[in-house]
Chains A and B, each alone.
Chain A
């Protein structure tokens, strides 16, 4: 493992990779600070530019953007009470309260060091669990892969979007789009509507960019980049940044607990980062000797969500790399990045050379250190970025994106497809259909169908229910689907004894 990590480090220190990492950090911080365009959306937009890079460098560049956007997001959360990304939302509660008390620098220090510690613990846990995951994955055959894809989709449908009903519809729509192209059983064209363009299936990059960037760019364009400025931050002495560091060390229990919560939440597909931040905040408040301080500027209220939010990336990498099931938008885009660079995610990745895994670990960690340094030096001034007008930035990004999508394959229809999915993504977001579920279904569609046919051929229908892991995964899917409504119903139904008493 040490050899693998040092080899990955050496790879990422090979020119021009350090330049790409630095660019990734800058882009990640900027999109993190800017409310509107999240880390996942920015990563999607940047995929075309990674084609000119070595696969490992391109993937590391994407990871650098995704890993540092959260650190950028904490700046606007703390200083102007506008979370750059949803996972930073819990930080605004005590972070902005500290800013109003003139402790902005301390809050920034606590959040930044919390992020770095969280990322470190998350990655250490990921590396510790990876060998077991590798062994576990080797026990998988076709029925397990089918059930894994099914369970992943059900979990994401349950946790994202307006309702599980809409989540499942989004998943099915994603699967249907994944079925376009040559059918894996007979090799006949399917759903191509006599268009040669569709014979190879629907390319994931235009879909990804359209889905995740379209709605964000529309949102960015529709507000003029002025939000949050009414709440201009009172100043804070930069020297108090070290108070934040000392607070993080003093509250080491909060750091450790939040990291474990973040790592655990990262493994569950769906809304991992935001959920991790909120759960860690609640846990920190419950275990505090002074819970009454929470919401009024408690430094633990800043440390806990930021630590959990960054530890979650370690957890998120595990299902993404081991099973090919991404936990959130950033991991979904990263997985797509791996696929377009020809790097197989899932069991085939773990069975083979682990170099790319170690590259991702180093790329998730090193840029964070750099980003932390930049934020501590410039954080107080970074809010100036929120003054950039969204209605200028959005067309500029859209123009560069449209041309870069064309540049991928010199295919004008890719640009049209991106545009179509921009509108689809906008409508899905507006009417509560989860875009994450759709894209995960599109990624998993091939695995879903091929493992179904392979199971039927090799094991017969009984293969789905006679193998323990497949059965356990099926149980998880059924529980995720029917558990919450049944539990709600049971809670609502009064116990017979209560009825008697009432009479």
Chain B
């Protein structure tokens, strides 16, 4: 590789290995490997297309994992989302600017505080979904309700709104308003028994 190309890619020392990225790569590879392995038990007609798609993708995913194990350069591909001189930019530059704008819009904050809030919200979502699913499966039903979703959601809202720093009065008022809205939307509009 030429020196300029090497410089553009970032030297090995600049690269940083990201454990979360590698974990996701491995999970995706495991998902693909499971599907490919399961295909082997199927009849030839049934497994043909899944194998055509799955095998090369599994190989591509392994290459991706190796690349990410070598580390990524955090500066690379993270240029300003809007190039200077947009007015005189070529179509290729404009396309790149548009792609980077889309990527920047979707980019999630990964600072300490933001990451902590994202984790709390992710765990909150897990609890609000899994606790009522398990409770509905293993506990006696609450009279008048089909599942434990309603009490779990109300309790979850009380917890999370209080956690973000609202006073108890505001927390209860906001939770009551959201619950009323849910009743209107689901109970009245969709006529659903939850």
Where the two chains meet, the residues of A that have a C-beta atom closer than 8 Å to any C-beta of B are 38, 48-49, 51-52, 83, 85-86, 89-90, 93, 159-160, 162, 165-166, 168-169, 172-173, 175-176, 179, 183, 185-186, 188, 190-191, 193, 215, 217-219, 221-224, 271, 274-275, 277-279, 281-282, 285-286, 291, 294-295, 389, 391-392, 394-396, 398-400, 402-404, 406-407, 410, 412-413, 415-416, 418-419, 422-423, 426-427, 429-433, 448-449, 452-453
Q: Are B108 and A431 in contact (CB under 8 A)?
A: no
| Contact present for B153 and A275 (CB under 8 Å) | no
A222 touches B98 (CB 8 A): no
Q: Which of A85, A412, A423, A430 contacts B136 (CB 8 A)?
A: A412
Taken together as a complex, chains A and B put the C-alpha atoms of A219 and B114 apart, in Å, by: 9
* B114–chain A nearest beta-carbon distance, Å: 4
Is the CB–CB distance between B46 and A185 below 8 Å?
A: yes
A8 to chain B, nearest CB (A): 24
Kindly identify, within residues 105 to 130 of chain B, every residue whose CB is under 8 Å from any CB belonging to chain A.
105-110, 114-115, 117-118, 121-122, 124-126, 128-130
Residues of B within 8 A of A278 (CB): 86, 94-95, 97-98, 101
CB contact between B166 and one of A85, A215, A392 (< 8 Å): that residue: A392
Kindly provide the distance from the CB of A176 to the nearest chain B CB, expressed in whole angstroms: 5
Residue among A159, A279, A431, A453 making CB contact with B24, cutoff 8 Å: A431
Chain B residues whose C-beta falls within 8 Å of the C-beta of A404 in the assembled complex: 185-186, 190
Contact partners of A93 in chain B: CB under 8 A: 82, 86
Q: What 0/1 pattern do residues 85 to 98 of B give for CB contact below 8 A with A?
A: 01111010011011
Cα of A380 to Cα of B40 in the assembled complex, Å: 62
- CB <8 Å contact, A86 and B178: no
Chain B residues with CB under 8 Å of A429's CB are 106-108
Given contacts A172-B54, A294-B87, A396-B178, contact A222 B125 (CB under 8 A): no
A93→B150 CA distance, assembly (Å):
46
CB-based contact B32/A285 at 8 Å = no
Chain A residues with CB under 8 Å of B87's CB are 281-282, 285-286, 291, 294-295
Interface of A, helix, strand, loop or mixed by DSSP: helix
Q: By the criterion CB–CB under 8 Å, are B178 and A159 in contact?
A: no
Task: Give chain B residues whose Cβ lies under 8 Å from the Cβ of A395.
Answer: 121, 124, 156-157, 160-161
State whether B61 touches A191 (Cβ < 8 A): no
Q: Is B66 an interface residue, CB under 8 A from the partner?
A: no
Looking at the assembled complex, report how far the CB atom of A464 sits from the nearest CB atom of chain B, in whole angstroms. Answer: 13
A40 to B: closest C-beta gap in Å: 11
Q: Cβ of B157 and Cβ of A219 under 8 Å apart? A: no
Chain A nearest Cβ from B24, distance in angstroms? 5
Specify which chain A residues have a CB less than 8 angstroms from the CB of B97 in the assembled complex: 278
- Does B121 lie within 8 Å of A274, measured CB to CB? no
Q: Which 8 A-B pairs have the closest CB atoms?
A: A285-B87, A172-B57, A407-B192, A275-B98, A222-B114, A274-B98, A183-B46, A391-B164
B125-147 interface with A by 8 A CB criterion: 125-126, 128-130, 132-133, 136-137, 146-147
Within 8 A of A (CB), among B27-51: 28, 31-32, 35, 38, 42-43, 45-46, 49-50
In addition to A172-B60, A185-B46, A430-B108, 12 A-B residue pairs with Cβ atoms within 8 Å of each other are A89-B105, A162-B77, A188-B43, A219-B109, A222-B115, A271-B102, A279-B94, A281-B87, A402-B128, A404-B186, A419-B130, A422-B125
Residue contact A183 to B182, C-beta cutoff 8 Å: no
Is the CB–CB distance between B114 and A431 below 8 Å? no
B64 near A52 (CB under 8 angstroms)? no
Q: Chain A's nearest CB lies how many Å from the CB of B127?
A: 10
Which of A85, A403, A416 has the most chain B CB atoms inside 10 A of its CB? A403
- Residue B21 is within 8 A (CB to CB) of chain A in the complex: yes
CA distance A294 to B156 in the complex (A): 49
Q: How far is the CB of A395 from chain B (nearest CB, A)?
A: 5
Residue of A with least CB distance to B47: A190
List 11 A-B pairs, Cβ < 8 Å.
Answer: A191-B38, A222-B109, A222-B117, A274-B98, A275-B94, A395-B157, A403-B194, A426-B122, A427-B24, A429-B106, A430-B24
Contacts of B49 in A (CB 8 A): 179, 448-449, 452-453
Q: Assess whether B108 is in contact with A215, with CB atoms less than 8 Å apart.
A: yes
Q: Do A169 and B121 touch across chains, with their CB atoms under 8 A apart?
A: no
* Residues from chain B with Cβ under 8 Å of A279 in the complex: 91, 94-95, 98
Closest chain B residue to A329, Cβ basis: B102
List of A residues within 8 angstroms of B77 by Cβ: 162
CA A396 to CA B177, docked complex, whole Å: 10
Cβ B186 vs Cβ A407 within 8 A? yes
Could you tell me if B42 and A281 are in contact, using CB atoms closer than 8 angstroms?
no
B189 & A49 in contact (Cβ 8 Å cutoff): yes
Chain A residues near B98: list those with CB within 8 A: 86, 271, 274-275, 277-279
The answer on a CB contact under 8 Å between A218 and B190 is no
When distances are taken between beta carbons in the complex, the residues of chain A under 8 Å from B106 are 215, 429
